[in-house]
Structure 1
Amino acid sequence: MPTLTRVVNEPAPFSPEPITDQEAAAMFRAALNLFRAWGVTDDQAAVILDLPRRTFARWKAGETGRFGRDGKARLSNLLGIHKALRIIFREGPRGYAWIKANNEAFGGRSALDVMLGGELTDLMRVRRYLDAERGAW
C-alpha cells in the first residue's frame, strides 16, 4: 500500500530584490517632489540624504550618480513616510504641513527636526512612528 505524504504549501520567506540604481534614481526624483511639498531647503535635503551639498545640486540637476545601500535605504524611508502621511491625512497639504509641526512624540520637535539629525536611524524613527500611528504594525 502506498504511503501518503502530506505536502505543506507555505509561502517562501519575503526576500526583496535589491533596489537598482534606476529605481533609486526614480525614488530620488520623487524625494525632490516631497522636499518641495514639505518646504525643505536644498541644504536640509542634502543633510537628510547624507550627500555633500554639491553632489545634491548635481543630482538635482539630473546628473545622478551611483546610489549606495545607505542612500537607497534613506530614499525608501522617505517614500514610506510619504505613504504613511497619505494614509493618515486625507488632504495632502495637512500631511505636508505635519512634517514641520511640533510633536510630543519627538520631544516637542518636528519630524523634520528629527530627520535633520542626519542619520538613517532618524528617518527610520519618523517612519516607524507614522507606521505605528496608521496601524501598520
Structure 2
Amino acid sequence: MAATPHALAPAASPGAEITAEEARAMLRACLALFDRWGLSAGEARRLLGEPSPRTYQRWRSGEVASVPHDTVFRLGTLLGIHKALRFMFASPAQGYAWVRRPNAAFGGRSALDRMLQGAPTDLAAVRAYLDAERAGW
C-alpha cells in the first residue's frame, strides 16, 4: 500500500506530512494510551472524532485501512498531551491519573472532561495548558 500524506499533526515541523503508515502508528499508540487512561469505548470514540462503533472496533482489532485527516490532527494533539505529562510527572501512573483529576484550570473539572466536550479545540486547550505549565521550567 502506498503511503499517502495526511494533514499536518500539530507537533509536526513545517512542511512535514504524516504518512498513512505514521497515522496508523499514531492511532495504535493512542489506543494503548486510552487503555492506560481507563477510557470507555464511547469516551475513546469521542476523543477520536466519533468514528462509527464498527470502525472503532476494527481499529481496536488492528484493521486500519485509513485514518481521516481530523483524526490525525486529534492523534497528534493527544500524543502531545501524553508527552507533556511524561515530562511533568516522575511516574507514568501519575500522568495517567492526572487526566481524570479535578483541575482548577478547567473550572474544577478534569482534563478528560474538557477533552470529552469533543471539539479539536478542546483537545488543543488541554495541550496548550500543559505546554504553558511546562514553559515555566
> Which range, TM-score by smaller chain?
0.7 to 0.9
Q: Distance in 1 between matches of 2:132 and 2:36?
A: 23
Equivalence for 2:14: 15
Aligned to 1:40: 39
User: Residue in 2 aligned with 1:98?
Assistant: 98
Task: Report the TM-score, using the length of structure 2 for normalisation.
Answer: 0.85
Secondary structure of the corresponding residue to residue 23 of structure 2? helix
| Aligned-partner Cα distance in 1 for 2:96–2:20 | 27
- In 2, distance between residues paired with 1:54 and 1:47? 14
Match of 2:116 in 1: 116
Paired residues, what number?
Answer: 123
The equivalent of 1:72 in structure 2 is 72
Question: Rg: which structure is higher?
Answer: 1
User: TM-score, length-normalised on structure 1?
Assistant: 0.85
Shift of 1:65: 2.5
The superposition leaves residues 12-35 of structure 1 with CA deviations (integer Å, 9 ceiling, x where unpaired) of xx5232111110100011001110
What is the identity, as a one-letter code, of the residue corresponding to 2:64? T
- In the alignment, structure 1 segments of 5+ residues that lack a partner are 1-13
In structure 2, the residue matched to 1:127 is 127
- The alpha-carbon deviation at position 58 of structure 1 amounts to 1.1
Which position in structure 2 is the counterpart of 1:29?
28
Residues in 2 aligned to 1:124 and 1:56: alpha-carbon distance in whole angstroms: 22
Write the distance in 2 (CA, Å) between the matches of 1:134 and 1:69.
28
User: Secondary structure in 2 aligned to 1:134?
Assistant: helix
Tell me which stretches of 4 or more aligned residues in structure 1 moved more than 4 Å: none
In structure 2, distance between residues paired with 1:48 and 1:115? 7
- What secondary structure sits across from 2:18 in the alignment? coil
In the alignment, the residues of structure 2 paired with residue 65 and residue 118 of structure 1 have an alpha-carbon distance, to the nearest angstrom, of: 23
CA distance in 2, matches of 1:102, 1:65: 37
Q: Compute the displacement of 1:90 (Å).
A: 1.1
